[in-house]
Amino acid sequence: MKLSLSTARFAAILAVTAVVFGAGLVSGAAGQPLIMGSTTNSAGSSATKMSSNVNGNAFAVAQTGSGNAANGIRGDASQGTGGVFTSSSNNALFATAASGNRFAIVAVGNGSAGTGGALLADGNANTAIEAVSDSGNGIEATSGTCTGLLCGRTGVVGEGFGFAGGVSGEGPLGVVGIDSTGGSGFGFITGGDASIGGDLSVGSCTGCSPAQLASNGGSIALTEGDAVTATGVTTDAEGNLFVVVQKAGEGDTVFGIVSAGVKGVQSALDGNGFTTYKDSGTVAAAGAKLRIITGGIVTFAAGDASGGAIAAGDALVASATSGRLAKAASGASALGVFGIALGSLDDGRVVVYIK
């Protein structure tokens, strides 16, 4: 059967089309137009760049499929980065979740245990992460579960540099710690010194002793355990009050027991610097700052037997040997009694309950 001229031309066109598409157009090869649908586009070893000056979305993808696996855009990289977003004058990446039960951005770290994580934010000269919520928590961090003896993972770890704190809280409650174990844990715990810039409210306190910052107004050094008497008051440059003390002698009213010498350390709270005082050793030289205990139980007070052997229940007053406590004479005025002995130690120290 002979083909007509038009039929022959149509067959030739079909053949050419098959050759073109068979050469790679349907597979989206490098240098060819982007082909949508159930196919793979390959740029080969060359990069693909799209430029646009439209006042709107330069490239928009609408995903109307259902299910959690229906992604609008996905970027995969075997060595480099899956996606990089840069803006010179606006937000580099803006994400919105329309559902109250979903997240605008989800970051998952699937690698083995190491030094990486799910999210890294580097703010350079600016804040690395700024979290704002109208009615929810600004940041909520939960560590994963773990098992075994003394197992634990921290929800939030903060490390500050210079005089700044690792974690800072601002608001009516600032930083809140809650024991979620039902009583076997702690809402707040620190392995070192704690500095409070303002008032401290404690519901109940075990092992706490009232203390006061002081200044050694005498001509000789004061040592841990020395009984001191107050001779006046002074302040530092920031208005912190110091009681001026010296070793207590016979007949003096004992004000407290030396706990330690202290040194000033600059701290920062909400961007405002203030001086806090940390223990610096067991000795405070003449004119130096120190901390004295003025209430509760002291286990290291210096005592002697000038008034007789000290036993539990004895009233204690300043000894004839300056800086020491002695048993009060029978009939001594209760006004002059500093404390009650709870016992004595082999090295001459006395355990005292300060009245």
Q: Which of 66-80, 181-195, 307-321, 341-355 has the highest mean pLDDT?
A: 307-321
Q: Chain-wide mean pLDDT for the chain?
A: 83
- For residue 280, count other CB atoms closer than 10 A to its CB: 17
DSSP character at residue 6: H
Q: Hey, is 33 helix, strand or coil?
A: coil
- Using one digit for the tens of pLDDT, what is the confidence trace for 214-273? 999 999 999 999 999 999 999 988 888 999 999 999 999 999 999 999 998 877 655 566
What gap in Å lies between CA 259 and CA 219, rounded to an integer? 19
Q: Quick one: pLDDT at residue 308?
A: 92
Q: Which of 26-30, 133-137, 180-184, 215-219 has the highest mean pLDDT?
A: 215-219
Token readout for 316 is 């204690």
Contact 350, 301 (CB under 8 A): yes
Among 259, 194, 254, smallest CA distance to 223 is for 259
- Cβ-proximal residues to 303 (8 Å cutoff; 6+ apart), any chain: 310, 316, 319, 324, 325, 326, 341, 344, 348, 349, 350
Token readout for 285 is 């030289």
Among 247, 245, 250, 226, smallest CA distance to 328 is for 250
Q: Is 70 exceeded by the pLDDT of residue 151? A: no
What is the full DSSP assignment across 164-213? --SS---SSSSS----TTSSSS-S---SS----SS----S--SS---EEE
Q: Is 60 exceeded by the pLDDT of residue 1? A: no
Token readout for 93 is 């990446």
Q: Quick one: pLDDT at residue 51?
A: 84
Q: Quick one: pLDDT at residue 284?
A: 97
Phi, psi of 129 (to 5 degrees): -135, 125
Residue 169, Cα to own-chain centre: how many angstroms? Answer: 9
Phi, psi of 210 (to 5 degrees): -60, 135
Report residue 293's pLDDT band, with 50, 70 and 90 as the boundaries: very high
Q: Quick one: pLDDT at residue 29?
A: 76
What gap in Å lies between CA 293 and CA 278, rounded to an integer? 15
Mean pLDDT value of segment 9-21: 54
Least confident of 11-20, 58-67, 234-243: 11-20
Report residue 53's pLDDT band, with 50, 70 and 90 as the boundaries: confident
- Using one digit for the tens of pLDDT, what is the confidence trace for 111-142? 888 888 888 888 888 888 888 888 888 888 87
What gap in Å lies between CA 33 and CA 30, rounded to an integer? 8
Q: Quick one: pLDDT at residue 55?
A: 86
Buried b (16+ CB within 10 A) or exposed e, 22-43: eeeeeebeeeeeeeeeeeeeee
Q: Quick one: pLDDT at residue 100?
A: 83
Mean pLDDT value of segment 279-291: 95
Q: Is 90 exceeded by the pLDDT of residue 350? A: yes
pTM above 0.85, yes or no: no
Token readout for 44 is 């080969």
